[in-house]
Structure 1
């Protein structure tokens, strides 16, 4: 079937964006008030926890968050000593970020809480629906060249 009329509430990109925003908001309920970090800082925290160290540009690419928002988040997280920056000689753009001990402790406290929140969000799906949903997301990510990187290799 070929659509010729756009119904915004049926338009898949609009629905995906809305869904992602709402899921992020629900997850933020876990960490915003209790731990004082926002959505961007959460993304920075978990990206750094997955890697020994990486650049701010890698975080931008990985999380699809605007570079100015990542930059502000990094600055604040450095200020409150959740992350540290190691600058490359002569090129500040190549500075690598890493979690501090305080950042690793915060991450460790947050993980069970956000996993429980994810479980609550996803409980409306049965096992088959959940698997189909994850498989569909994997296919969409692959078709958009949004390949998952678990090895920490940076392609900037």
Structure 2
């Protein structure tokens, strides 16, 4: 048997694998629910349901993504009539985003899908292990100056 790749000794490799698995499972749940949206779109809809009328910058921050892909996702959701953009009357460069009525209905129909995904994927951990796992992730993010305040 050959020696494992050095890549396999790095946490980033395993975190990428875990992230891919979580996203694949969440996409399957969204497909089963006939949501008609991708995981990235679900993330934006979920954030907007809790923080309506936020800017693209803030939306990107809370999604843990860069602004450019978030702008593209918002554009797709706008075309699907799930979100709307509101331009500030005071500063035309300032745009906020909110769910439309149709977007709110979709979000309501998907209530609990994220929790169900976490429950399924982390069933191998007891409550104490899960809490430690979450605390460790947030600790590493904080070390990298990622503000987890408000999450």
TM-score (normalizing by structure 2): 0.84
| Partner residue, 1:19 | 18
Consecutive unaligned residues in structure 2, runs of 5 or more:
none
2:47 counterpart residue number: 47
Point out where structure 1 has 5 or more consecutive residues left out of the alignment: 1-5, 152-156
Question: In structure 1, what is the equivalent of residue 124 of structure 2?
Answer: 124
- Whether contact under 8 Å (1:60, 1:70) holds in the other structure is yes
| Alignment CA distance shift 1:39-1:113 (3 Å) | closer
SS of equivalent to 1:97: strand
- Alignment coverage as a number of residue pairs: 146
RMSD: 2.1
Match of 2:108 in 1: 108
- Partner residue of 1:98? 98
Q: Distance in 1 between matches of 2:43 and 2:30?
A: 12
Residues 78/92 of structure 1: CA separation in 2 closer, same or farther (3 Å cut) = farther
Partners of 2:9 and 2:52 lie apart in 1 by 41
- Provide the TM-score with structure 1 as the length reference: 0.82
Q: Distance in 2 between matches of 1:53 and 1:107?
A: 16
Partner of 1:35: 35
Q: How far apart are the structure 2 equivalents of 1:21 and 1:91?
A: 39
1:68 aligns with 2:68: yes
Structure 1: 4+ residue segments shifted above 3 A: 89-93
Determine if contact 2:22/2:117 at 8 Å carries over to the other structure: no
